[in-house]
Structure 1
Amino acid sequence: MAIKERMSGNESIAIAMRQINPDVLPAFPITPSTEIPQYFSKYVADGLVQTEFIPVESEHSAMSAAIGAQAAGARTTSATSSAGLALMWEMLHVAASCKLPITLACVNRALTGPININADHSDSMGARDTGWIQIYSETNQEAYDNYIQAVRIAEHKDVMLPAMVCQDGFITSHAVENIELLEDKEVRDFVGEYAPEDSLLNPGYPISHGPYDTATFYMEHKRLQAESMKKAKKVILSVAEEFKKVSGREYGLFEEYRMEDAEYAMVIINSSAGTAKVAVDELRKEGKKVGLIKIRVFRPFPMEELAEALKHLKAIAVMDKSEGFSSAGGPIFAEVRSAMYDLSEKPSVVNYIYGLGGRDFTVDSAKQVYDEIEDIKGTSIDDIYRYLGVRG
């Protein structure tokens, strides 16, 4: 039975963690994810979970402790943001290469340089190639639902990779929204018990984690990681089907919004999708055939599926809330444009860098983008790489 509540995105993640009841949670506070371990530490103090909560001295230590715990056979989770994720950098790669299904709540915030504490995606997009599954959340509800599903996805025998669930700092992490929670037992039954085939504490099958890997074996191990990431797509969809039976809520690799007869579309992630949907609805009332695709799963990237969903369009605006500093556009643009490469007839595709450091993205901003891509004629475009809402 659904429990109707009102809460912030951070609290919804903390509730999901409480219901999952992980064995270990190491964490270090950083804005705007601090509330997640703060809420959880109270659950520990109140005896609502049996989790070993480890307050560490840094985010590098948090992920190091998570790796040790998960390698020992303990279901482990954590939370961080921005520079905290950057400080975990080395250990993100270790967790993925050891194929340890740690789950991490990433509350998106701009990376320092200059100092900024507002939402953009430079943190998680910077970590996109560390070998972690990445799932993005438009709303508090999605953050909650995604986190519960992430445990099952990461721990699946065909995957065994760490997963981060992302949501926008302050915009959803601190904003209060209506939400439907599952019963504690429903969540516990859904995620099940963690029973790893390999662990450091299994005396009957001695193994090592993170040994020196020579050139003789390194490529083979990387290939195994890559194959697991490919297999994750099927597992993500399978877990979503099971979650729908429990919750009534439906999830895929991405969401198509008013795309059935669209001629122009926006590709976007996280909370900005909600703003853009309002613009789509208003423009539809004016008779304009516009639509939107919200990417939910960025790693593994749904290349074939996305190309199929976009191939009938005249023009596409790909929205990046982070810079790639490639001089050719942002990270989402690079992936989406690559996905379109094999199409015999390609839509025009342009990139918009927007919202950096928390710069507002409004309904009027989204309408401006749609107006501009409607004016595109053919595939020859001078300004493919654009900035939205920047001065000068």
Structure 2
Amino acid sequence: MAIRERLSGNEAVATAMRQINPDVVAAFPITPSTEIPQYFSKYVADGLVDTEFVPVESEHSAMSACVGSQAAGARTMTATSSCGLALMHEILYIAASNRLPITLAAVNRALSGPININADHSDTMGSRDAGWIQIYSENNQEAYDNFIQAVRIGEHKDVKLPVMVCQDGFITSHAVENIELIEDDKVKDFVGEYNPESYLLDASQNLSIGPYDSPMYYMEHKRLQVEGMKNAKEVALQVAAEFEKMTGRSYGLFEEYRLDDADAAIVIINSTAGTAKDAIDKLREEGKKVGLLKIRLFRPFPGEEIAEALKHVKAIAVMDRSDSFSNQGGPLNAEIKSALYGTENAPKIINYVYGLGGRDVKVENIEEVYSSLFEIIETGNTGDTYRYLSVRTQEVQ
């Protein structure tokens, strides 16, 4: 029977880690993810887990230690945010290219500068092409559920890739919400033991991790890495189906909210989806056909499935909580446009960059977005397709 609790998003993820009982956790503190290793270090001190906790001198060292321990055959986890993830950047590629299924709790926070410690997605979007699976979470329950599923996805024999589970800094990481926990024994059974096929401490094998890869072999290794990422989509659905049998909670590649008959829709990631749902409910009461597509799995990107889900919509606003500085919009916008390119009667698309540095997003702001979409539907003119939401137009001194 589910255990009802009230936890912050950080404590929920730390609880999932305790229930999984990894072999190694290596971490360095950075706001707003600090609480995750802090909570977990207490579990270690209290003897609630068998984990080797490695306090390191930087995030670069944290990911390096994770690579070493996972390569040695140990199930390994860590947590970070913002500049910490950026400092790991070099080692993120090493973890992915060596097919090491490390699980990372990424608590989204803006990157400097100017210095800012609040939520946006510039950190994980900056790492989107490092070869890691990326799963995003609207609320504390999803952060907990996604973290448990991430271990199974990354370790699957057809995937063998690291996974980062993302949630919005302070908005969910520190906010306390009602949550349903799974019993410890069920989590352990669901995740199972980690049994890698090849690892450094296996004396029966001759194995090298991270050797020089000449032009004769490098492309083939990258192609195999791509296959693992392609397979992750189907594996994520298989794991989600098993998770639903255990908990009753359903997960897919993305969530559709009142989208079936929508004329206008927004595509969004993480916590602002909750605000958008409130706006949708309000506008539906006014007779307006509006809907939402919330991305859960961003890497690999489920482009074909998204195109199918949005094919009937007349106008779409893609919401990016980061900017790519391409003068074409944010990273999610580029993915959605790519997915819809060439589809018959493709909907008109605009992009809003919003909520940078933790700026509040209110129901009224989402209503403004839908108002813009209905204007596009009525006039047939998209106007500026690259827009900023709730930004002061007067020069800031």
TM over 0.5: yes
- Give the aligned partner of residue 97 of structure 2: 97
Partner of 1:313: 313
- Give the equivalent residue in structure 1 for 2:384: 383
How big is the alpha-carbon RMSD for the aligned residues of Structure 1 and Structure 2?
0.7
Letter in structure 2 aligned against 1:359: R
Deviation at residue 260 of structure 1 after TM alignment? 1.4
SS state at 2:99 partner: coil
Match of 1:330 in 2: 330
Q: Distance in 1 between matches of 2:283 and 2:383?
A: 26
Question: Is 1:199 the counterpart of 2:199 in the alignment?
Answer: yes
- Aligned partner of 1:221 in structure 2 is 221
SS in 2 for 1:381: coil
For residues 53-86 of structure 1, give each alpha carbon's deviation from its aligned partner in whole angstroms, at most 9, with x where no partner exists: 0000000000000000000000000000000000
Give 1:380 deviation, angstroms: 4.8
State how far apart, in whole Å, the 1-side matches of 2:331 and 2:380 are. Answer: 21
Measure, in 1, the Cα distance between the counterparts of 2:60 and 2:362.
Answer: 36
In the alignment, the residues of structure 1 paired with residue 22 and residue 64 of structure 2 have an alpha-carbon distance, to the nearest angstrom, of 17
Q: Secondary structure at the match of 1:90?
A: helix
C-alpha separation in 2, matches of 1:35 and 1:159: 30
TM-superposed CA distance for 1:381, in Å, is 2.6
CA distance in 2, matches of 1:379, 1:288: 18
Name the residue aligned to 1:157.
Answer: 157
> Which secondary structure state, in structure 1, belongs to the residue aligned with residue 283 of structure 2?
helix
The one-character-per-residue Cα deviations of 1:134-170 (angstroms, maximum 9, x if unpaired) are 0000010000000000000000000000000000000
Spell out the pairing of 1:106-125 with structure 2 (5 A cutoff): 106-125=106-125
- Aligned mates of 1:47, 1:238 — CA distance in 2: 33
Cα deviation code 1:1-45 (max 9, x no counterpart): 100000100000000000000000000000000000000000000
Give the 3-state SS of the residue equivalent to 1:375 in structure 2: helix
Q: Quick check: 1:16 aligned with 2:9?
A: no
Q: Is the 8 A contact 1:101 1:161 kept in 2?
A: yes
Contact 1:30 1:80 in 2 (8 A): yes
The CA distance in 2 between the partners of 1:288 and 1:354, in whole Å, is 23
Give the structure-2-normalised TM-score.
0.98
Q: How does 1:229-378 map to 2 (within 5 A)?
A: 229-377=229-377
Measure the CA separation in 1 of the matches of 2:260 and 2:383. 29
SS in 2 for 1:134: strand
Aligned partner of 1:52 in structure 2 is 52
Calculate the TM-score normalised by the size of structure 1.
Answer: 0.99
Most deviating of 33-42 and 204-213 = 204-213
- Distance in 1 (alpha carbons) for counterparts of 2:383 and 2:249: 42
Question: 1:87 matched to which residue of 2?
Answer: 87
Contact in 2 for aligned 1:347/1:379 (Cα 8 Å): no
Give the counterpart letter for 2:217 in structure 1.
F
Distance in 2, Cα, partners of 1:342 & 1:39 = 49
Once the two structures are superposed, what CA deviation does each residue of 1:169-223 show, in whole Å capped at 9, x if it has no partner?
Answer: 0000000000000000000000000000000011111111111111111111111
Aligned residues: 392
- The residue number in structure 2 matching 1:171 is 171
- Alignment correspondent of 2:128: 128
Name the amino acid aligned to 1:213.
D
Letter in 2 for 1:384: T
Distance 1:334 1:353 in 2: 12
List 4+ stretches of structure 1 deviating above 6 A: none
Q: Secondary structure at the match of 2:235?
A: helix
Aligned residue type for 2:387 = R
Letter in 1 for 2:71: A
Alpha-carbon distance in structure 2 between the residues aligned to 1:286 and 1:209: 60
Percent identity between the two aligned chains: 71
Deviations 1:223-281 (A, max 9, x none): 11111100100000000000001111000000000011111100001000000000000
The CA distance in 2 between the partners of 1:327 and 1:299, in whole Å, is: 23
- CA–CA separation in structure 1 for the residues paired with 2:294 and 2:168: 14
Q: Mind listing any 5+ residue stretches in structure 1 that lack a counterpart?
A: none
> What residue is the counterpart of 2:2 in the other structure?
2
Shift of 1:382: 2.8
- For the residue of structure 1 that corresponds to 2:376, the secondary structure is coil
Q: Does 1:37 align with 2:48?
A: no
Aligned amino acid, residue 368 of structure 2: Q
Q: Which amino acid aligns with 1:146?
A: N
1:342: how far off? 2.4
Distance 2:382 2:32 in 1: 39
Work out whether 1:138 is the aligned partner of 2:134.
no
> How far apart are residue 324 of structure 1 and its match?
0.6
Aligned mates of 2:193, 2:380 — CA distance in 1: 52
